[in-house]
């Protein structure tokens, strides 16, 4: 008998019919003789709708209350799913994050899991029931408060449960057939990948491929959890995320192209600090101010200073949700840092080309720059890691940039990829 953790995303449980469809799938897995633990997201766009409501009543919703509100979404779907399973004649019990032992730090909106004590989940399995756990939520022991794990965090709930229960596999069910060479909503010719290394998946997730939440991929890597991403709308094989240190899956028969995938992200903005005195210590001052706001900055570019003025410009990118906070913090210190002005631009797009084959193949960046030039797309910023090259473009040329590079690196498939549901919101 295997222990399987199954996670169903919001688009897989968007209405009563979908919940019944998912319940049937869970019951089938149970009938095949497996123990099943389920992590479930809020229905459809519920989380976004709740966020809109919060913003409608308060310009800056209190983080503790926002977490209280958002966790209501998963409470609805977990109870409905348990009812649907019981309606099919099987035992099921739903649990909130705190009932399931998801212990986190106290950071509202982006809490980290510090311990998982799934006693009640175990007990439910021992009684022969399916355990349904609300995704995305946890509990802090010191404050006694409810937390959330960050957008997309139900993936982390599933992986953390799989690790704590030593599950045989963690299956992530979503609205596409697996992990593709690019977001099929952006690049219709994207191809499904059968096997992907966790290292490449981490880079794609960090660069905006929201099919898996980055913290879930990290957690799975650290705890040796086997991840299987697949569609809840059919029984196609999906994608296995593997750790190359554990050996190559499929009897070593895994394709290793130079470029594995391309991710796009429209959620970033660019801040330019104009006219910074070009003397030692100024970058430190600026980024210490930014660090205090807890914003996650990504690319940084410092221009050559102008000899006449002895001043330079420093630009960096960050999630646009952090923009107002960072601008406010920098503006408050303008006199002490002695920069001239600030520019804020949220009409940028970020694109990342990812592939472990880059380590041993020269010319990838040249090909990216040439292809974008030939398509008339201007590059505003560049950054690289060992297996990734990222560029910033105008937001309105981002999708075309992704399609151009997808073709240039020979990633196009013969069919148009199917997105089964969801608004992609
Ligand atoms: P869920 O509600 O199941 O958590 P998400 O919307 O979070 O689903 O993630 C699935 C979506 O991720 C897909 O519909 C697709 O648009 C998007 N996506 C982005 N990059 C990729 C990729 N490389 N492969 C597959 N899907 C991707
Ligand atoms: N419902 C949460 C969100 O929309 C968590 C998740 O779906 O993973 O971000
Ligand atoms: Mg998701």
Asked whether 135 lines ligand 1 (CB < 6 A), one says: no
In this predicted model, what pLDDT tens digit does every residue of 228-246 receive, in sequence order? Answer: 999 999 999 999 999 998 8
Ligand 2 probe mutation, 14, 47, 421, most atoms within 8 A of CB: 47
pLDDT for position 424: 66
* Percent residues over pLDDT 70 in the chain: 99
As given in the structure block, the two tokens for residue 194 are: 């059968």
| 165-220: pLDDT as tens digits | 999 999 999 999 999 999 999 999 999 999 999 999 999 999 999 999 999 999 99
Q: Average pLDDT, stretch 284-307?
A: 91
Torsion of CA 330, 335, 339, 345, to 10 degrees: 30
- How do residues 18-56 score in pLDDT, each as one tens digit? 999 999 999 999 999 999 999 999 999 999 999 999 999
Q: How many angstroms separate the Cα of 413 from the Cα of each of 84, 156, 165, 254, 403?
A: 38, 30, 38, 17, 12
Residues 136-161: what's their mean pLDDT?
Answer: 98
> pLDDT category, 59, cuts 50, 70, 90?
confident
Helix axes 364-374, 398-408, angle to 10 degrees: 130
393 is an annotated ligand-binding site residue: no
| Predicted pLDDT at 40 | 98
Protein residues whose CB sits closer than 6 Å to any atom of ligand 2: 9-10, 41-42, 47, 73, 135-136, 151-155
Nearest ligand, CA 157: 2
- On whether the CB atoms of residues 41 and 10 are closer than 8 A, the answer is yes
- Given a contact cutoff of 8 angstroms between Cβ atoms, the answer to whether 386 and 411 are in contact is no
Domains located in the chain, CATH noted: 3-253 (3.40.1160.10)
CA of 167 to the centre of ligand 2 (A): 22
Provide the pLDDT confidence category of residue 277 given band limits of 50, 70 and 90: very high
Determine the Cα–Cα distance for residues 279 and 355; give it in Å rounded to an integer.
38
Is residue 425 pLDDT above 80, yes or no? no
**Rounded Cα distance, 252 and 48, in Å:** 42
Q: How confident is the model at residue 252 (pLDDT cuts 50, 70, 90)?
A: confident
* Residues in CB range of 82: below 8 A, 6 or more apart: 92, 93, 94, 130, 132
Given this model, what pLDDT does residue 349 score?
97
pLDDT at 25: 97
The rounded Å distance from CA 209 to ligand 1 centre is 7
Mean pLDDT (the chain) is 95
Give the tens place of pLDDT for each residue, 85-118.
999 999 999 999 999 999 999 999 999 999 999 9
Ligand 1 pocket, mutate which of 74, 183, 267 (most atoms under 8 A from CB):
183
Q: Which atom of ligand 1 is nearest to the CA of 186?
A: 16
Phi (first) and psi of residue 16, to 5 degrees:
-60, -40
Give the CA distances from residue 252 to residues 191, 242, 256, in Å, rounded to whole numbers and listed in that order. 21, 12, 11
CA distance 225 to 217: 9
Question: Between residues 151 and 416, which one has the greater pLDDT?
Answer: 151
Q: Is 275 in the pocket of ligand 1 (CB under 6 A)?
A: no
pLDDT mean over 383-392 = 95
* CA–CA gap between residue 414 and residue 417 (Å, rounded): 9
Rounded (10°) CA dihedral 63, 64, 66, 71: 140
How far is ligand 1, taken at its centre, from the CA of residue 307, in Å?
48
**Residue closest to 3 by CA, chosen among 26, 32, 31, 37:** 37
The alpha carbon of 8 and the centre of ligand 1 are apart by a number of angstroms equal to: 12
Q: How far is the CA of 318 from the centre of ligand 2 (A)?
A: 21
DSSP for 64-100, written as a single string: HHHHHHHHHHHHHHHHHHHHHHHHTT--EEEE-TTTT
**Sign of the CA dihedral with 148 first, then 154, 159, and 160 last:** positive
* In the chain, % of residues over pLDDT 90: 90
Q: Which atom of ligand 2 is nearest to the CA of 136?
A: 5
Which residue has its alpha carbon closest to ligand 2 atom 6? 152
Q: How far is the CA of 90 from the centre of ligand 1 (A)?
A: 30
366, two tokens: 């040249």
Q: What is the pLDDT of residue 215?
A: 96
């Amino acid at each position: 008998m295997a222990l399987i953790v199954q996670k169903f995303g919001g688009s897989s449980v968007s209405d009563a019919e979908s919940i019944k469809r998912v319940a049937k799938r869970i019951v089938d897995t149970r009938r095949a003789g497996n123990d099943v633990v389920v992590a479930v997201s809020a229905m459809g766009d519920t989380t976004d709708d709740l966020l809109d409501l919060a913003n409608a009543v308060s310009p800056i919703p209190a983080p503790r209350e926002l977490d209280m509100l958002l966790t209501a979404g998963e409470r609805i779907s977990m109870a409905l799913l348990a009812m649907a399973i019981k309606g099919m004649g099987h035992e099921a019990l739903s649990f909130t994050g705190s009932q399931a032992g998801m212990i986190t730090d106290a950071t509202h909106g982006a809490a980290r899991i510090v311990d998982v004590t799934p006693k009640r989940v175990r007990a439910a399995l021992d009684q022969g029931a399916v355990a349904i756990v609300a995704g995305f939520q946890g509990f802090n022991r010191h404050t006694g408060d409810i937390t959330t794990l960050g957008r997309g965090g139900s993936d982390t709930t599933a992986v953390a449960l799989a690790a704590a229960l030593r599950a045989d596999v963690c299956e992530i069910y979503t609205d596409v057939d697996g992990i593709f060479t690019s977001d099929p909503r952006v690049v219709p010719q994207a191809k499904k990948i059968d096997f992907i290394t966790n290292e490449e998946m981490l880079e794609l997730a960090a660069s905006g491929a929201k099919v898996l939440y980055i913290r879930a991929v990290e957690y799975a890597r650290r705890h040796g959890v086997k991840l299987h991403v697949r569609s809840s709308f059919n029984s196609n094989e999906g994608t296995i995320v593997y750790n190359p240190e554990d050996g190559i899956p499929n009897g070593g028969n895994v394709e290793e192209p130079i470029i594995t995938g391309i991710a796009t992200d429209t959620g970033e903005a660019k801040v330019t600090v104009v006219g910074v005195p070009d003397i030692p210590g100024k970058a430190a001052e600026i980024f210490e101010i930014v660090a205090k706001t807890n914003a996650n900055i990504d690319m940084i570019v410092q221009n050559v200073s102008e000899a006449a003025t002895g001043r330079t410009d420093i630009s960096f990118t960050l999630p646009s949700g952090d923009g107002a906070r960072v601008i406010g913090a920098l503006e408050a210190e303008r006199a002490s840092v002695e920069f001239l002005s600030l520019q804020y631009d949220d009409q940028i797009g970020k694109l990342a080309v990812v592939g472990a084959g880059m380590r041993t193949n020269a010319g990838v960046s040249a090909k990216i720059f040439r292809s974008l030039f030939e398509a008339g797309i201007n590059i505003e910023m560049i950054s690289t890691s060992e297996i990734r090259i990222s560029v910033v473009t105008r937001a309105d040329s981002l999708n075309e940039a992704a399609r151009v590079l997808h073709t240039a690196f020979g990633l196009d498939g013969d069919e148009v990829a199917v997105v089964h549901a969801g608004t992609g919101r």
